[in-house]
Amino acid sequence: MQIIEGAKVAAQVLEECRQDIAQLASRGLKPGLAVILVGSDPASQAYVRSKDKKCKELGLHSVKLELPASTTQEELLAKVREFNADPAIHGILVQSPPPKHIDEAAVVRAIDPAKDVDGFHPVNVAKLALEDTSGFVPCTPLGCQRLLLAAGVETAGAKVVVVGRSMIVGKPMALLLMAKGVGGDATVTVAHSRTRDLPSLTRQADIIIAAIGRPEFIRKEHVREGAVVIDVGINRVDDSSSPKGYKLVGDVAYDEVAPLCKAITPVPGGVGPMTIAMLMANTVKACKLLHGAV
């Protein structure tokens, strides 16, 4: 059984970014990422700090804008428009979820699609569906695909079940794996919380992508022997034995599923490191596209 270590693959992605950044620097160019955080959600604050830190490690121009929870929709949109017009910024990300009074979909639509490094703008969703590589793919599914490639998992002709139908992971993941070419050409089924008799469906899969957002939802009865399992979930569950009072688990019951698998990602340390790595890669790509360096 192969454990697919996200940290190692993420390091490879970041090294590729460093090489691209050096080439861009030789032309006097520096990719820039702006991250906007509205409110003071601790998990979001930690995630934004990690993005800012990674930008600085790579030598990217990084802008971290933290706004109070009282920020209005129009004030937030005005900041997005400022970054749209700023030539030093190639990628814009508004940390999700925003406070409840903010219309997140409207904020996403306000971002210039050429700077939408999260890949959520309708233009980029359409480009993914059309297999137009000038668009941006959401970072987590893009990272999952890269993990499969790095592990030598053959997707062409494979039966894949994606468990989860969100616009953040499930739907773009299915589109990526169905696309023609390397890392694609799979036969994909998208399942979700309303799917009848899920175990009978997932047991047919060569590859399972678990992205349903429920701790340890995928169990041994869902998985056939020799399957590959990519666990996207990161869930906090109470754990009195931990100094923090909780532990992180995935959407897969790892201890009972792993012995059945040909390959599996752990949580933490699997998909998680890939998300920020692919965000950096998308930001570099945005700079290269803008300046004709692709």
Q: Which of 20, 54, 95, 112 is catalytic?
A: 95
Burial 95-127 (b: 16+ CB within 10 A, else e): bbebbeebeeeebbbbbbbbbbbbbbbebbbeb
What's phi and psi for 36, nearest 5 deg?
Answer: -110, 130
- Burial bucket for residue 73 (CB in 10 Å: 0-12, 13-18, 19+): middle
**How many residues appear in the chain?**
294
Quick check: is 204 catalytic? no
Residues 6+ apart with CB under 8 A from 127: 133, 134, 135, 136
Q: Which of 20, 51, 145, 171 is catalytic?
A: 51
Quick check: is 2 catalytic? no
**Gap between the Cα atoms of 245 and 239, Å rounded:** 5
- Burial bucket for residue 260 (CB in 10 Å: 0-12, 13-18, 19+): middle
H helices within the chain, ranges in order? 6-25, 42-58, 73-85, 104-110, 122-129, 139-150, 170-178, 198-202, 254-257, 272-290
Q: Return the bridge partners of 33, or none.
A: 62, 91
Q: Which of 20, 112, 118, 206 is catalytic?
A: 118
The pair of structure tokens assigned to 240 is 């009195």
Q: Return the bridge partners of 190, or none.
A: 162
Quick check: is 95 catalytic? yes
Residues involved in catalysis: 51, 95, 118
